[in-house]
Structure 1
Amino acid sequence: MSSSTSHSMPPYGVAIQGAIKAGNLPQMKTLLKQRDASTPENKELKTAYEQLVKEIERLEKH
């Protein structure tokens, strides 16, 4: 039942992926609002936020 990966992802990255997988639009919007633009992001977290934005846009079109 464990979903371990071969690379580590920051905690927010895990939360983002979980919200996307669950299709939880309110949670996705909250996570996006909490993004700190003044803090440098690693590649994995930046990619997770990009996926988050795309998923929000997709869900809002329906």
Structure 2
Amino acid sequence: MSNSTSHSMPPYGVAIQGAIKAGNLPQMKTLLKQRDASKPENKELNAAYEQLAKEVARLEKH
């Protein structure tokens, strides 16, 4: 087993990536609304939320 966590993502990050991959706009919006900005996030989760927000914006333009 590897102790490397460089590619691990918190479980919530997996939900974000799944919603993006599926193109599920309602789910993506729900995930963004559930984000708790008052809690600190690790870099990977923060990057996932940024990607999620960009994808929501892209899909809403269409």
Distance 1:27 1:39 in 2: 21
Matched, 1:39 2:39: yes
Distance 2:49 2:7 in 1: 17
Structure 1: gaps (5+ residues) = 1-5
Could you tell me which residue of structure 2 aligns to residue 30 of structure 1?
Answer: 30
Q: What amino acid is the match of 2:16?
A: I
Q: What amino acid is the match of 1:8?
A: S
Q: What is the Cα-based RMSD across aligned positions, in Å? A: 1.4
Q: What amino acid is the match of 2:20?
A: I
Q: What amino acid is the match of 1:21?
A: K
Could you tell me which residue of structure 1 aligns to residue 53 of structure 2?
Answer: 53
Structure 2: gaps (5+ residues) = 1-5
Deviations 1:17-60 (A, max 9, x none): 00000000000000000000010000000000000000000000
TM-score by length of 1: 0.89
1:8 Cα deviation after fit: 1.4
TM-score by length of 2: 0.89
Distance 1:12 1:51 in 2: 14
Q: Percent same amino acid among aligned pairs?
A: 89
Aligned pairs, number: 58
